[in-house]
Amino acid sequence: MVTNVDQFRAKRVVLARQSILEDKSGASAKLRAILSQVRHYNVFKRRDALVALKNFCFAEEYKEGESHEHRLTSAIEDAAKVFDTVAPCMCDADGDVRRLCSEFLTSLFSALPYQDIRPFARLL
């Protein structure tokens, strides 16, 4: 039996979601962080995350070089993730989460053209 391990060998090291090519700043990183909170087990975290998601997409103030269309574009690019994450909130046990989810989806659908929503018709 070996008790002293001085060497470690591996054929491959896989670091999922830690690609150097992936954008770690900006709108897409913030959107991913908010979506992870929408799936949180704590109802208060889910409420705050849905408010943050709505504020993220429809905020009044933006950083320099950023616009309303830029953030909506980020949400559209990750639309599958957004809809997959937000859709279960429509059946949440908490009424406030359901209301906030409905408000967010209503705002999102009214801001997006039909062509951007059409691929997700079956999901909705």
Instruction: Name the residue type at position 55.
Output: N
Opening angle at CA 59, ends 25 and 29, nearest 5: 15
Write down the pLDDT at residue 40.
92
- The whole-angstrom separation of Cα 77 and Cα 96 is 27
Distance CA 56, CA 50 (A): 10
Mean pLDDT of residues grouped by 10 in the chain (124 residues)? 66 61 65 90 94 83 57 69 88 94 88 78 70
Q: Do 58 and 68 meet the contact criterion of CB atoms below 8 Å apart?
A: yes
pLDDT at 121: 74
| pLDDT number for residue 93 | 93
Cα 103 to its chain centre, rounded Å, is: 16
